[in-house]
């Protein structure tokens, strides 16, 4: 094992896949000469050249559609959105073209493509630059949705995403890019669709994904001090959701709290709780709960912004209430 | 029926087979040889070439024989609206530097300087950690905002992207409220909820402050639509960058604006870079003022480092739009001195390039020299104006720093117009 920030884990996954498959290429704004607005593609242009690291104009709808076409034409595009907020410009190509073509063609035309970039809130960049699109994409049949937390998962899951024959939404988080975690030195990948138990426990199950895992783990430490043993599940993939792992855990702990940084209504928590109440109803000792961003567009002012995103204390308090 | 003679005449009018072959090839990108074209004198001009030939005839002022225009069409189908509009536009070229009053020249200097000192202060406050998030400064581009504003009315609508502080100030927004907004204060123009990129001032007909590149362009087109719908004389001044000019919705807006003859000035602030990408690496056609041609929208490029050039161009554009001719494109050739936002490694351009612009083309230095040369102001007076502006901004900044942070009670206000029952 060696330690890498999430940023370079993502870069390495792309570089390794590009080395092994000449049809994999990266396209997006500032990915080449600028080496990525968040420096995720650092060094790639010098290794792969501008044929395979393609700088685009600011035309999200255009280059996303183009990438879908390139995928039909036999290539394996990795589309970087500078941030996911800008993918709203391209949402039609993602949903109507990428996600639905395989079905509409009766299985004749599949679209292997990865859409990736930082998702959710950063620091004080206000509503138009802080949108968490996780729940939105999990609503769409034809897409796979991945949202890793640490470096090892980011690398292993991105490799699977690039090899996947379907469109995969790969949600990163700007605030995690600098975080350093261990990464196996062997050649490995992590299958899409499997959650990971980050910390096992016996009294309550906390599910989360992406940066929410960090807060969940911290809350688990606080709970430990009160003699509550929390099991923390990193969902890693949001669609298809690994309900087996969640249900197995709830059957053991009998309590559930879902944590997400997106909004609550029709969110990931709603989905998880609905699955759990229908499949493990008799095992629940307390009503399942969810915690999410407050129901407002994210404000700019730092004091207001801090109130909006769930932190370890919010999670801790909510969990404790269930006993 | 057309006769051989008619075909012969057409070909001769267009300079003979050789020239026509050359011009048609240029026109259509299909290479034609002159023998083929000569042979049309006897064999007749094939239908597929007729539209191009009609266009060439119209351009040359030649006669189009009866029966040559395909059935169901008229000459109008072949008129090149763009060149027509461009010619028409020449009639609007009657604004002159000599007509600009000394008072206006003075105001150019003061207003540009105010924008410069304001943004410099914002940069400092950012450096001190009092401003967060993304913050894009306008330093270098002042002539555009000041020159354009001088030519429009308070009733006109203005909209832009995230590089918006200067345009707000030009509209008359409160600098104190802007500083508060930038620092996330309750007194901020958006109560601290919008920040640097998202500020609105409807009282001054300023409609944002938009974080999504290009999104303001159709919105600005909608403001023009509303003016026309409501029979208001106001026009829409819609700013966007050279990078934004590549967004598809810009062209969709051009089309609608021209189709419905909407009162809008598309003002492209071409500062030559969209983040780290130079215009040459982003646009296949770098003549941004010409991008409206296929929609029949005239446009021209302007020295955006010179407030007088901007003002003269703006007056012409305003007149064009007010007289009901529909949209126009102004491409302001300008330059930003600072990084794209506060975090910008700036490896995409050389220090010398920036230095050269600052030294040779700075709009404020230009106005200073102009005022002194024309003996309107002494250098002492120029300095005292600068001092006054600096101290005014300092005081406002101090007051803003000491004001209260955003009110937590405001977290749930303004989500819906009615009470928001979370
Ligand atoms: C739809 C969208 N894509 C990407 C971005 C990120 N971004 C912000 S500003 C910018 C460059 C825009 O350049 P330009 O239009 O030339 O304006 P300038 O910054 O030079 O004023 C980019 C790519 C964004 N905000 N919105
Ligand atoms: Mg630009």
Sign of CA dihedral B28, B29, B32, B33: positive
Nearest to B384 by CA among B401, B366, B371, B398: B371
Angle (deg, nearest 10), helices A212-225 and A312-321? 50
E-strand ranges in B233-335 read 236-241, 264-270, 273-274, 277-278, 299-303, 328-333
Residue B23: the pLDDT is 85
Count of CA atoms in the C-beta half-sphere (13 A) of B45: 28
Q: How confident is the model at residue B81 (pLDDT cuts 50, 70, 90)?
A: low
Chain A residues with CB under 8 Å of B348 CB are 33-34
Q: How confident is the model at residue A165 (pLDDT cuts 50, 70, 90)?
A: very high
3-state secondary structure of A185: coil
Mean pLDDT along residues A35-63: 97
CB A119 within 8 A of CB A133: yes
Q: What pLDDT digit, counting tens, does each position of B181-213 carry?
A: 999 999 999 999 999 999 999 999 999 999 999
Q: What pLDDT digit, counting tens, does each position of A255-267 carry?
A: 999 999 999 999 9
CB A33 within 8 A of CB B349: no
Kindly state the percentage of chain B with pLDDT values over 70. 97
Chain B residues with CB under 8 Å of A265 CB are none
Residues in chain A: 323
- How many whole angstroms separate alpha carbon B263 and alpha carbon B260? 9
What is the domain partition of chain A in residue ranges? 2-183, 196-321
Kindly state the percentage of chain A with pLDDT values over 90. 100
| Closest Cβ opposite residue A125 in set B133, B275, B277 | B133
For ligand 1, the distance from its centroid to the CA atom of residue B132, given in whole angstroms, is 18
Active-site residue set of A = 60, 129
- How many whole angstroms separate alpha carbon A242 and alpha carbon A315? 22
Sign of CA dihedral A44, A48, A50, A52: negative
- How many whole angstroms separate alpha carbon B249 and alpha carbon B268? 14
Asked whether the predicted pLDDT for residue B82 surpasses 80, the reply is no
Q: What is the CATH number of domain B97-406?
A: 3.40.50.970
Domain A196-321 has CATH 3.40.50.920: yes
Mean pLDDT along residues B130-147: 98
Asked whether the predicted pLDDT for residue B57 surpasses 90, the reply is no
- How many whole angstroms separate alpha carbon B241 and alpha carbon B262? 21
Query: Could you identify the atom of ligand 1 that is nearest to the CA of residue A88?
Result: 1
Residue scoring higher pLDDT (B24 or B392): B392
Nearest to A130 by CA among A288, A302, A299: A299
In this chain, the answer to whether the domains covering A2-183 and A196-321 adopt an identical fold is yes
Residue B96: the pLDDT is 93
| Closest Cβ opposite residue A128 in set B211, B246, B274 | B211
* Closest chain A C-alpha to B277 CA, distance in angstroms: 7
Mean pLDDT along residues B262-276: 97
pTM of the model: 0.86
Q: How confident is the model at residue B1 (pLDDT cuts 50, 70, 90)?
A: low
Residue A45: the pLDDT is 98
B135 CB within 6 A, ligand 1: no
Asked whether the predicted pLDDT for residue B84 surpasses 70, the reply is no
Asked whether the predicted pLDDT for residue B294 surpasses 70, the reply is yes
Mean pLDDT of chain B: 93
Asked whether the predicted pLDDT for residue B67 surpasses 90, the reply is no
Q: Looking at A54-95, list the stretches that DSSP marks H as alpha helix, in order from N- to C-terminal side.
A: 60-72, 91-92
Cβ-proximal residues to B152 (8 Å cutoff; 6+ apart), any chain: B158, B235, B237, B314, B318
**Which is it for strands A144-146 and A53-55: parallel, antiparallel or unpaired?**
unpaired
Tokens of residue A94, six digits:
């993602």
C-alpha distances in angstroms, B421 versus A294, A308, B412? Answer: 12, 16, 9
Mean pLDDT of chain A: 97
Listed range (A53-57, A195-199, B80-84, B158-162) with the worst mean pLDDT: B80-84
Pick the CATH number of A2-183 from 3.40.50.970, 3.30.70.600, 3.55.40.20, 3.30.413.10: 3.40.50.970
CB A133 within 8 A of CB A84: yes
C-alpha distances in angstroms, A251 versus A207, A228, B294? Answer: 14, 16, 66
B406 and A304 within 8 Å at the Cβ level: the answer is yes
Residue B78: the pLDDT is 76
Q: What pLDDT digit, counting tens, does each position of B317-376 carry?
A: 999 999 999 999 999 999 999 999 998 888 999 999 999 999 999 999 999 999 999 999
- How many whole angstroms separate alpha carbon B78 and alpha carbon B57? 10
Sign of CA dihedral B158, B164, B166, B169: positive
Sign of CA dihedral B224, B227, B232, B237: negative
For ligand 1, the distance from its centroid to the CA atom of residue A113, given in whole angstroms, is 25
Dihedral class, residue B257 (left if φ above 0, else alpha if ψ from -120 to 50, else beta): alpha
Residue B80: the pLDDT is 62
Mean pLDDT along residues A284-294: 98
- How many whole angstroms separate alpha carbon B369 and alpha carbon B372? 5
B241 CB within 6 A, ligand 1: yes
């Amino acid at each position: 094992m060696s330690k890498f920030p999430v940023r370079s884990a993502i870069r390495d996954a792309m570089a390794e896949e590009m080395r092994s498959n000449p049809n994999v290429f990266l396209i997006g704004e500032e990915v080449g000469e600028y080496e990525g607005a968040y420096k995720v593609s650092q060094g790639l242009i010098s290794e792969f050249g501008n044929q395979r690291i393609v700088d685009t104009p600011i035309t999200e709808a255009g280059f996303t559609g183009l990438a879908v076409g390139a995928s039909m034409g036999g290539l394996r595009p990795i589309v970087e959105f500078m941030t996911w907020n800008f993918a709203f410009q391209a949402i039609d190509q993602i949903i109507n073209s990428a996600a639905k073509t395989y079905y509409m063609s009766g299985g004749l035309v599949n679209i292997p493509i990865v859409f990736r970039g930082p998702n959710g809130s950063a620091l004080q960049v206000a509503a138009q630059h802080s949108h968490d699109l996780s729940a939105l994409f999990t609503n769409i049949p034809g897409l796979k949705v991945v949202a890793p937390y640490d470096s090892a998962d980011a690398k292993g899951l991105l490799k699977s995403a690039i090899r996947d024959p379907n469109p995969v939404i790969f949600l990163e988080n700007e605030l995690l890019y600098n975080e350093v975690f261990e990464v196996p030195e062997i050649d490995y990948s992590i299958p899409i669709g499997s959650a990971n138990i980050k910390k096992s426990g016996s009294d309550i199950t906390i599910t989360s994904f992406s940066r929410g895992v960090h807060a969940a783990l911290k809350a688990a430490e606080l709970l430990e001090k009160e003699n509550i043993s929390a099991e923390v599940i990193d969902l890693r993939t949001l669609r298809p959701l690994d309900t087996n792992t969640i249900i197995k855990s709830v059957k053991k702990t009998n309590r559930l709290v879902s944590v997400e940084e997106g909004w609550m209504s029709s969110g990931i928590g709603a989905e998880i709780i609905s699955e759990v109440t229908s499949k493990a109803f008799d095992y629940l000792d307390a009503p399942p709960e969810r915690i999410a961003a407050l129901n407002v567009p994210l404000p700019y002012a730092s004091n207001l912004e801090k109130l909006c995103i769930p932190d370890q204390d919010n999670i801790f308090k909510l969990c404790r209430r269930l006993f | 029926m057309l006769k051989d003679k008619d075909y012969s005449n057409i070909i001769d009018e267009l300079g003979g087979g050789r020239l026509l072959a050359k011009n048609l090839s240029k026109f259509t990108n299909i290479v034609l040889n002159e023998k083929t074209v000569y042979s049309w004198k006897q064999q007749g001009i094939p239908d597929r070439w007729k539209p191009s030939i009609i266009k060439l005839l119209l351009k040359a002022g030649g006669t189009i024989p009866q029966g040559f225009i395909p059935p169901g069409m008229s000459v109008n189908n072949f008129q090149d609206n763009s060149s027509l509009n461009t010619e028409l536009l020449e009639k609007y070229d009657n604004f002159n530097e000599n007509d600009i009053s000394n008072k206006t020249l003075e105001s150019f200097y003061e207003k540009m300087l105010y924008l410069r000192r304001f943004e410099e202060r914002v940069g400092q406050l950012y450096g001190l950690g009092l401003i967060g998030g993304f913050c894009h400064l306008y330093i270098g581009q002042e002539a555009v905002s000041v020159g354009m504003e001088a030519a429009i009315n308070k009733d006109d609508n203005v909209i832009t992207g995230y590089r918006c502080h200067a345009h707000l100030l030009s509209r008359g927004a409160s600098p104190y409220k802007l500083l508060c907004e930038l620092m996330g204060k309750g007194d901020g123009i958006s109560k601290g909820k919008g920040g640097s990129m998202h500020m609105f001032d409807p009282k001054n007909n300023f409609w944002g402050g938009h974080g999504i590149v290009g999104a303001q362009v159709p919105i600005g087109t909608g403001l023009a639509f509303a003016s026309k719908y409501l029979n208001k004389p106001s026009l829409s001044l819609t700013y966007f960058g050279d990078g934004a000019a590549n967004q598809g919705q810009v062209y969709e807006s051009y089309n609608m604006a021209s189709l419905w003859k909407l009162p809008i000035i598309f003002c492209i602030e071409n500062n030559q870079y969209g983040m780290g990408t130079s215009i040459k690496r982003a646009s296949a056609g770098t003549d941004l003022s010409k991008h409206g041609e296929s929609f029949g929208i005239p446009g021209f490029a302007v020295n955006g480092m010179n407030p007088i050039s901007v003002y003269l161009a703006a007056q012409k554009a305003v007149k064009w739009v007010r007289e009901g001719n529909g949209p126009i494109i102004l491409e302001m050739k300008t330059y930003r001195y600072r990084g794209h936002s506060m975090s910008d490694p700036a490896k995409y351009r050389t220090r010398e390039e920036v230095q050269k612009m600052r030294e040779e083309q700075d709009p404020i230095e230009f106005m200073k020299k102009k005022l002194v040369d024309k003996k309107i102001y002494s250098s002492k007076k120029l300095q005292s104006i600068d001092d006054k502006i600096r101290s005014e901004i300092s005081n406002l900044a101090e007051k803003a720093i000491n004001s209260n942070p955003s009110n937590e009670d405001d977290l749930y206000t303004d989500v819906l117009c009615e009470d928001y029952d979370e």
